Amino acid sequence: MKLSRKAKRYDDTVLPGDFGGFEPFSHGDAEGEGEVRGALRHTLNGVELGHITLERPAAKKQTFAKLKSRAEVLSRQLNYLDEHLEIVDHDRRGMYIQLRSLPPYKDDSQIRFNEISIGRDRVVVKRIAFYRRDEVKQEVALTLTQDLLERLMADLRDVLSPV
């Protein structure tokens, strides 16, 4: 997925999360001809998701307008996540859109937000924390129930569906 310069600079400053104890996975997408990969850990209340990436072959007649429309629909569909998502960055030529929690979760020590990067053939979901004291951005786990994880996967598949 080609990132805009702004997104690339931003991504370079996000430290990888400490996902020790998480199970990495990578397998074919049961709902299509793509691949799902990421890291998760099962808990008593559901799952903690380190990150998740869904890749599929790009649709032949994909346009930026269609991708943006699907991103807008996705931001409305994901109302079951704790924070509302909005488009914060895009690149027309690179076919890239970034959604982020607006407003993010804030407390005295940190700011946390969900981030979804959508490209022509890939969707990446992560949760990021900005620690105020250290001025560091780092990936953190996204906590979901099993039902919400399945719903999230279905919504992500819709973004990359060929129709």
Find all residues with CB under 8 Å of 60, minimum gap 6, and list them.
162
Q: What is the pLDDT of residues 93-147, one digit of tens each?
A: 989 999 999 999 999 999 999 999 999 999 999 999 999 999 999 999 999 999 9
The values of phi and psi at residue 147, to 5°, are -60, -45
If pLDDT is split at 50, 70 and 90, which confidence band does 24 have? very high
The parent domain of residue 102 ranges over 5-160
Residue 59 confidence (pLDDT):
74
Mean of pLDDT over the chain: 89
Confidence grade of residue 163 (pLDDT, cut at 50, 70, 90): low
Give residue-wise pLDDT tens across range 144-158: 999 999 999 999 988
End-to-end CA distance of the chain: give it in Å, rounded. Answer: 20
DSSP conformation class of 21: T
| Number of domains making up the chain | 1
The answer to whether 56 and 80 are in contact (CB under 8 A) is no
The encoded tokens of residue 30 equal 């049961």
Instruction: Tell me what the mean pLDDT of segment 1-30 comes to.
Output: 75
